Structure 1
């Protein structure tokens, strides 16, 4: 595993041989000390919510990568600092308001601030991601995310897991939805939100170069503990293996 305070990502199991590359764009709520003194100005409780990172996704990523015998890359900065799952020109790249919470450190963010975050966090993460994805010609990307059971003022979300995808590549997503539903799970088909934004991580590293891909969202109350993360990894890995094998890709 590679990680240090100045490296905006962690790489786990780089020598592992599987075709899969498991990714976690929103792995942590860490705010580097050079960003607003290490605090975005919101309460600790908010920094522990889905607005700052994908709760439980990092542990699920590590466990799933181990099950698949695959490498993994995880971001090591909060999505509220800069969101690596957005294009550089996306207006939500640096959020000022998220699920009812104002982000004080971002309210008056400047172009120079954003350029610094791009140069020190966002681009190094994507450079490492691209390098890992290119380690073999038949890489398959599995992006791991989590979602909150309920947004403020909105109805509860019923799905246990969501599979997100672009209409440009449904080759693994659609059979994966069917396979998980066959297990009795409540599966979201491009729910709880649509699965593709221009310039997002899958667009950049999978769709543009033509790599097979899936994006898995697990409801975060279901992966709140290491044991639950391990259970979900053990459930997902064999299904992913079967779906890939059956696809002939």
Structure 2
């Protein structure tokens, strides 16, 4: 993704369909691999092929988010900066907030970043993103938060991951449980329950904007080779737009 030429042109968050009235809110924490001009002059010192990998953003997640939000009649909130700049799906005191090494790749621009630099990036990018999520989540009392992510089929030097999709959830599984059942009923999918990651991460986006407010939620992890192109994103958006309302009805009966 290309970056604006100056910081003045940079918006840390992208809002789409803000006027849509659905109770759904679809967000994408890791939508972009772009680096703002104020961080390393627009470069983290990471090779282009690595910036195109899952370490920099969730491949295909932005396109899936936009299509799913449109089908649900929901607003969408997307980050515009790489997770390597600062990770919006981490609490401000999380040790992985600013990664210096990820899946075998060193992040030179983060190597000597001190707390002052972390605070600067929090103010410029992380906090405005969360402010936007908080504002749109509060527009209705019955907001349902859907967080869209993707995962790599295989980390370097590790075993392949078998799942097509995973649902991550913590203490509130009202929506996730029926959605798991519906995805498994599709027949051809390998569905992970709190796979490939745990759904319990204190201070993450779901914890902050859903769990803390009693809002129904789920975090979707779709394997990124399935949503790399528009056709895959459309297939998954249509599947999820069909199943999510069914799951919500089951959750509320």
Give the TM-score normalised by structure 2.
0.95
Displacement after TM superposition at 1:217 (Å): 0.5
Displacement after TM superposition at 1:5 (Å): 3.2
Q: Secondary structure at the match of 1:208?
A: helix
Give the equivalent residue in structure 1 for 2:242: 238
What does 1:69-218 correspond to in 2, within 5 Å? 69-166=73-170, 168-184=171-187, 185-218=189-222
Distance 1:64 1:46 in 2: 27
> What CA deviation, in whole Å up to 9, does each residue of 1:4-32 have, x standing for no partner?
83210100101111110000000000100
Q: Secondary structure at the match of 2:213?
A: coil
Distance 2:89 2:220 in 1: 14
Distance 2:162 2:9 in 1: 38
Give the equivalent residue in structure 1 for 2:66: 62
> What CA deviation, in whole Å up to 9, does each residue of 1:190-216 have, x standing for no partner?
001111210000000000011000100
- Structure 1 unaligned blocks of 5 or more: none
Q: How many equivalent pairs are there?
A: 246
Distance 2:215 2:205 in 1: 12
Query: Over the residues paired in the alignment, what is the CA RMSD in angstroms?
Result: 1.2
Runs (4 or more) in structure 1 with deviation over 4 Å come to none
Distance 1:12 1:32 in 2: 20
> What CA deviation, in whole Å up to 9, does each residue of 1:26-66 have, x standing for no partner?
00001001101110001000000000000000000000001
Displacement after TM superposition at 1:227 (Å): 1.5
Distance 1:243 1:213 in 2: 11
Distance 2:251 2:126 in 1: 33
Q: Secondary structure at the match of 1:65?
A: helix
> What CA deviation, in whole Å up to 9, does each residue of 1:45-103 have, x standing for no partner?
00000000000000000000011010000000000000000000000000000001010
Give the TM-score normalised by structure 1.
0.97
- Structure 2 unaligned blocks of 5 or more: none
